[in-house]
Each structure stands twice: as structure tokens, then as C-alpha cells.
């Protein structure tokens, strides 16, 4: 496969952009390749500068639940853009999208829009600290909550992929206020509350951890977090930037039957435009300026184009009662099929799935925390990724990320992916 134009584009970008990219994972360094520059997307497909077509399983890292350039979303953005791109004043679209979110995710009584998931989680912990008057937050190793300083400790996603889970530039003081525990480990969180319960403002968790690959909570784990937070007066923050409106209209909290105090959102609620939100209990949200003493603001917060796109996405979800069941079934077919391919070739593997999200690990499993995820054969993953790319399948380019399907993916796409996986594994094993 020739990627000449992408290679040239990366060389040019590297002369003006730090590292040649605007977000580390897309550099494809983890799989030993040069980034593929895309020029357009349609439905479940992406097209690169060299005119190759790819079946896309990144879907803008989960943002595109409906696929690329969905007609309802495109129409909404086109209509909004003719009225102006940003006003720095309230607009009714913000209230309309907030109403839609509140009606679909009942734990959210009030919310605020921001411009990214990172901003949402940074703001949520400031609010939690302001509300509780406490300083420490608990996070879990391998979970990623954007690149706010407090979260770049044992962080997942690109930080893990590129070997900087504890980034330089984070002060010791900040690091001291973050307690890092293994995911899925009940004794560890019990112990943390026993030792430092009075100082813990919040426990922040991706209910389905999707930035060390996909790792699901053991039965009862999230409920235990809920109970401990309630007992010790700490807030439970669900980071649903990835899972919100992706695994169900009410997110992972609906599927698991847990009510967090605060939730952070992003991705799907912006239909591919830059957006984030945090929200939850009305008494906690009342602490936010201008009604309360915790400051938070943003020039582009509630941007009219992002609000229009989000309304189109949530409107489409609301009108399609079988959407999530279809996505679930298709993703199950794919992840089980991939498992069968790997088993046929005698490869140790574990395929973890939730709704339209999945990760294939090259390890026997089970994968229940970061330590387990790191047992995956990353060399094998890199070869598999490259072989799939050559066959026009664009997977998440790191072992420590999650793949996403969209409403545009079809059973034919799944068959094509499984055939490509069969051929890719055969190629990788023959070359070994
Ligand atoms: N941190 C994102 C994945 N979890 C990657 C964002 C990007 O490269 O666009």
C-alpha cells in the first residue's frame, strides 16, 4: 500500500506542528507507522490523501455514533453556520441540548457545557473540591480523564501508549493530591477511604474504562464505589466522555443502574464538533459561578454549531428505539468473530466488548485492570494493525485504546473485517 501523500504531509506538518500532530495517538508511533492523513469521511468510511478507502473503527474516538457526515448532523450544522459561529451570549440551543441530556440521563439535574472532555473533568473536580471543602481525588491506574494535571498520573490513552503515564510538568503538590488505585480492586478503595476518607473530595472513574483498551467493571464494583462515596461524604464522578450516549441513551450509568453525583460528557453530544459537559446533582452544580463560589468559564462554551450538531444526534437517537440493540448485536458478532479467528490460529487473546465498543488483546486474560492489559503482546498488535490497515481496516492505532462501531456499520462490513482479520493473522504468523 502506498501512502506517499500521507508521508509527505507528515513531513510538512512536522516542520510546524509539535511532533507533527495535534494529539499523540494519531501519530501511529505505537504501531511503528507514519500517520495516515484523512481527507474526508462518509458513513463508516474514511478516505486518505492517497485515495485509499478504510472501514473506520475509530469514529473520531467514539464521537461519531451515527457515522461520518450523517445527513441530519450536516444539515443542522449548515443551518446553524449561516446564523453565525459564536456570540459570547446565551442561546436557546444550549438550553434545548441541556434539556435533551437531562431527560435522557436522569442523574443530571443541571449541567454546564464546555469545549472538550478534558475541560469537563478538570472543572468537575474543581467543583467537587469546592463543594466538599476537601482536596484529594481518587483515580484508577490506566483510566484517562483528559490531560488536566491531576489526571496525568498513571494515565491511560496516549500517555500510556507513549510511555508518559506520569507526565513531566505536573507538580509534586498536584500529584500528592491524586490517589491512584488499581481498577476493579475493592480492598484497595476500602483501604484508601479508611486511611484518607476525610480528605477525599471525589472518586473519578470511567465506568467502562476505555483508555487502557476496554476494561469492564467486575459485578458490584461500581456499586461499592457508590456506597463508599456516600458513606464518606465524597462525590462519585462518572467520566462518561466516551460511554455517554454511546453504550445506551443513558450511558453506562443506565446500564449498570448506578447514580453518580456528577457526570462528565463529550464526544457523542457534539456530533464530532468540539464539546464537553459536566453536570449532576442540583445542589452541587449550584456551587458553580455565577450562582456559587467555584469559578469556571469559556468563550466557546455552548458554541452554537456544536449545540446544533448535538441536538441533531440526540434527536436521531430518540427517534430510533432499536439503535443501541442493533449496535450491540453487530459489535457482538464482530468481537465473537474476531475471537474465533484468533482461536483458529492458536493465538492467546481476549476480546472485551460493551455496546458498540471493543478491544482485542493478545493475552489469555481475563483483562480486569491495567496490569492485565499490559500483558497483551504489543509487538503482535502492531503487526496485526499494519496488516489490517493494508486491507483497508482502520483500527484504533494502539493496544491501549478502544474501537468503535457506528450506526452506519453493516453486517457486510463485519464480514469484510473478519475476512481481513483472517488474512492478516495468517500473514503475520507466516512472516514470524
Ligand atoms: N486521547 C484520544 C483517545 N482516547 C485520542 C484523541 C486523538 O488523537 O484524536
Q: pTM higher than 0.85, yes or no? A: yes
pLDDT greater than 90 at residue 161: no
pLDDT at residue 157, as a whole number? 86
pLDDT greater than 90 at residue 159: no
Average pLDDT over residues 161-188: 91
| 239 classed as catalytic | yes
Q: Is 163 exposed, middle or buried (0-12, 13-18, 19+ CB in 10 A)?
A: exposed
Residue nearest to atom 9 of ligand 1 (CA): 23
pLDDT at residue 165, as a whole number? 84
pLDDT at residue 396, as a whole number? 98
CA distances from 312 to 71, 109, 289, 317 (A): 10, 21, 29, 9
**Per-residue confidence band for 203, with pLDDT thresholds at 50, 70 and 90:** very high
pLDDT at residue 185, as a whole number? 98
pLDDT greater than 90 at residue 195: yes
pLDDT at residue 18, as a whole number? 97
pLDDT at residue 35, as a whole number? 97
Strands 45-48 and 38-42: antiparallel
pLDDT greater than 90 at residue 163: no
Q: Is 3.20.20.10 the CATH number for 71-318?
A: no
pLDDT digits (tens, 9 = 90+) for 11-59: 999 999 999 999 999 999 999 999 999 999 999 999 999 999 999 999 9
pLDDT at residue 164, as a whole number? 82
| Given 54, 57, 144, 324, the catalytic residue | 144
- Write down the residue that cell numbers 495468517 correspond to: 426
Domain range summary for the chain, segments of one domain joined by +? 4-69+321-431, 71-318
**Per-residue confidence band for 141, with pLDDT thresholds at 50, 70 and 90:** very high
Residue nearest to atom 5 of ligand 1 (CA): 25
Distance from the alpha carbon of residue 233 to the mean position of ligand 1, in angstroms: 33
Q: Please provide residue 404's backbone torsions phi and psi, each rounded to the nearest 5 degrees.
A: -130, 135
**Domain 4-69+321-431: which CATH number of 3.90.1150.10, 3.40.1800.10, 1.10.10.10, 3.40.50.1240:** 3.90.1150.10
Alpha carbons within 13 A on the beta-carbon side of 164:
12
In percent, how much of the chain has pLDDT > 70?
A: 100
pLDDT digits (tens, 9 = 90+) for 79-104: 999 999 999 999 999 999 999 999 99
User: Is 351:359 a contact under the CB 8 Å cutoff?
Assistant: yes
b (16+ CB within 10 A) / e for 312-344: bbbbbbeeeeebbeebbebbbebbebbbebbee
Average pLDDT over residues 285-296: 98
In percent, how much of the chain has pLDDT > 90?
A: 94
Query: Among 17, 22, 61, 167, which is best to mutate for testing ligand 1, by the most ligand atoms less than 8 A from CB?
Result: 61
| 267 classed as catalytic | yes
pLDDT at residue 275, as a whole number? 98
The rounded mean pLDDT for the chain is 97
pLDDT greater than 90 at residue 432: no
Amino acid at each position: 500500500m502506498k501512502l506517499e501523500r500521507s508521508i509527505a504531509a507528515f513531513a510538512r506538518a512536522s516542520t510546524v506542528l509539535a511532533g507533527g500532530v495535534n494529539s499523540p495517538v494519531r501519530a501511529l508511533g505505537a504501531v511503528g507507522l507514519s500517520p495516515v492523513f484523512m481527507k474526508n469521511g462518509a458513513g463508516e468510511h474514511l478516505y486518505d490523501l492517497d485515495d485509499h478507502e478504510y472501514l473506520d473503527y475509530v469514529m473520531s474516538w467514539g464521537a461519531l455514533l451515527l457515522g461520518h457526515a450523517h445527513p441530519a448532523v450536516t444539515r443542522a450544522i449548515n443551518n446553524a453556520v449561516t446564523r453565525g459561529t459564536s456570540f459570547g451570549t446565551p442561546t436557546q440551543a444550549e438550553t434545548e441540548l441541556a434539556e435533551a441530556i437531562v431527560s435522557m440521563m436522569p442523574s443530571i439535574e443541571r449541567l454546564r457545557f464546555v469545549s472538550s472532555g478534558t475541560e469537563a473533568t478538570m472543572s468537575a473536580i474543581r467543583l467537587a473540591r469546592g463543594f466538599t471543602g476537601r482536596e484529594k481525588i481518587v483515580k484508577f491506574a490506566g483510566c484517562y480523564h483528559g490531560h488536566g494535571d491531576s489526571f496525568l498520573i498513571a494515565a491511560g490513552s496516549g500517555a500510556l501508549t507513549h510511555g508518559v503515564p506520569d507526565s513531566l510538568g505536573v507538580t509534586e503538590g498536584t500529584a500528592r493530591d491524586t490517589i491512584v488505585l488499581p481498577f476493579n480492586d475493592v480492598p484497595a478503595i476500602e483501604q484508601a477511604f479508611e486511611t484518607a476518607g476525610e480528605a477525599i473530595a471525589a472518586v473519578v472513574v470511567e465506568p467502562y474504562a476505555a483508555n487502557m483498551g476496554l476494561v469492564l467493571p467486575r459485578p458490584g464494583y461500581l456499586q461499592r464505589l457508590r456506597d463508599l462515596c456516600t458513606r464518606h461524604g465524597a462525590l462519585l464522578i462518572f467520566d462518561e466522555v466516551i460511554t455517554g450516549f454511546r453504550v445506551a441513551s443513558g450511558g453506562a450509568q443506565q446500564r449498570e443502574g448506578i447514580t453518580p453525583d456528577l457526570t462528565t460528557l463529550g464526544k457523542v453530544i457534539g456530533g464530532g464538533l468540539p464539546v464537553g459537559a459536566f453536570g449532576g446533582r442540583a445542589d452541587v452544580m449550584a456551587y458553580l459561578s455565577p450562582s456559587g463560589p467555584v469559578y469556571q468559564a469559556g468563550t466557546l462554551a455552548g458554541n452554537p454549531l456544536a449545540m446544533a450538531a448535538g441536538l441533531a444526534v440526540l434527536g436521531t437517537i430518540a427517534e430510533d428505539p432499536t439503535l443501541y440493540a442493533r449496535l450491540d448485536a453487530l459489535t457482538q458478532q464482530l468481537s465473537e468473530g474476531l475471537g474465533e479467528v484468533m482461536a483458529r490460529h492458536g493465538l492467546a487473546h481476549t476480546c472485551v466488548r460493551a455496546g458498540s465498543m471493543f478491544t482485542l488483546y493478545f493475552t489469555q486474560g481475563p483483562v480486569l485492570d491495567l496490569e492485565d492489559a499490559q500483558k497483551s503482546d504489543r509487538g503482535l498488535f502492531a503487526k496485526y494493525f499494519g496488516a489490517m490497515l493494508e486491507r483497508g481496516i482502520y483500527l484504533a492505532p494502539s493496544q491501549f485504546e478502544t474501537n468503535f462501531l457506528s450506526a452506519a456499520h453493516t453486517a457486510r462490513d463485519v464480514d469484510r473485517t473478519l475476512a481481513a482479520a483472517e488474512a492478516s493473522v495468517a500473514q503475520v504468523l507466516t512472516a514470524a
